């Protein structure tokens, strides 16, 4: 099983502000770009995939975490730093339903995070049919 170490943020307040005022699609990229490296719990990609689907995360974010305009924003393959990810999922401030520790353990959160990190990057060049 693949395990991934994740890097997390320091400035949660700044991230929250970005979420409130920035475009939804930019959340993950901005956060990742501005965060400092902090170790996050080890997560299991395969377990994360199962949990991501079983607990309904995919319903709003897509099965690859790609995000939708009619649901949640893109959260993979470059998710927001783990600390913010954890705090927002536990107590979201916008439309997302909460996932408390009663229904998703911290380890499961780490597994989900690892799964999101492992998602495929988009094609490096724009496919002709999208131009």
Partner 1 sequence: MTKSKKPAVGRRNFLKSVAAGAATLAAPAEALHATPGAPAVPQPSAAMPVLPPLIETDPPAESEVLNVDRTGSDFMVDILKNLGFEYVCCVAGSSFRALHESVINYGGNKNPELISCCHEESSVAMGHGYAKVEGKPLCIFAHGTVGLQHASMAIYNAYCDRVPVYMIVANIIDATKRDPAYGEWPHSVQDAAAMVRDYTKWDDLPISLPHFAESAVRAYKIAMTPPMGPVLLVADSELQENPIQAGITQTIPKLALSTPPAGDSAAVVEAARMLLQAENPVFVADRSARTQAGIDHLVELAELLQAPVIDQAGRMNFPTRHPLNQTSRRAAVISNSDLVVGLEAPDLWSAVNTYHDQVHRTSRPITKSGAKIISISTGDLNIKANYQDFFRYTGVDLSMAADAEATMPYLIEEVKRQMTGDRKRAFQDRGAKLATAHQKALDEARNDALYAWDASPISTARVCAELWSQIKNEDWSLVSVLRHFSWWPLRLWPFDKHYQYIGTQGGGGIGYNAPASVGAALANRKYGRFSVSIQDDGDLLFAPAVLWTAAHHRIPILSVMHNNRAYHEELMHVQRMANRHNRGIDRAGIGTKFEDPTLDFSRLAQSMGVYAEGPITDPKDLAPALKRAIAVVKRGEPALLDVVTQPR
- How many residues can be counted in the chain? 131
DSSP-assigned beta bridge partners for residue 4: 43
Binding site for partner 1 (CB under 8 A): 23, 25, 54-56, 58-60, 62-64, 66-71, 74, 76-77, 94-95, 97-100, 102-104, 119-120, 122-123, 126-131
Structural tokens at position 120: 């495929």
Give the separation between CA 47 and CA 109, rounded to whole angstroms. 10
List the beta strands (DSSP E) in the chain: 3-4, 43-44
Determine the Cα–Cα distance for residues 78 and 126; give it in Å rounded to an integer. Answer: 19
Nearest to 52 by CA among 26, 44, 70: 44
Q: What gap in Å lies between CA 48 and CA 109, rounded to an integer?
A: 8
């Amino acid at each position: 099983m693949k395990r991934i170490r994740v890097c997390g943020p320091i400035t949660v307040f700044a991230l929250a502000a970005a979420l409130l005022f920035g475009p939804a699609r930019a959340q993950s990229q901005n956060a990742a770009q501005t965060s400092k490296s902090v170790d996050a719990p080890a997560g299991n990609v395969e377990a994360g995939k199962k949990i991501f689907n079983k607990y309904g995360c995919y319903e709003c974010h897509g099965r690859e975490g790609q995000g939708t305009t009619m649901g949640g924003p893109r959260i993979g393959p470059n998710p927001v730093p783990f600390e913010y990810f954890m705090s927002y999922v536990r107590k979201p401030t916008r439309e997302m339903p909460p996932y408390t520790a009663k229904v998703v353990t911290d380890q499961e959160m780490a597994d989900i995070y690892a799964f999101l990190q492992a998602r495929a990057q988009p094609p490096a060049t724009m496919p002709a049919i999208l131009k």
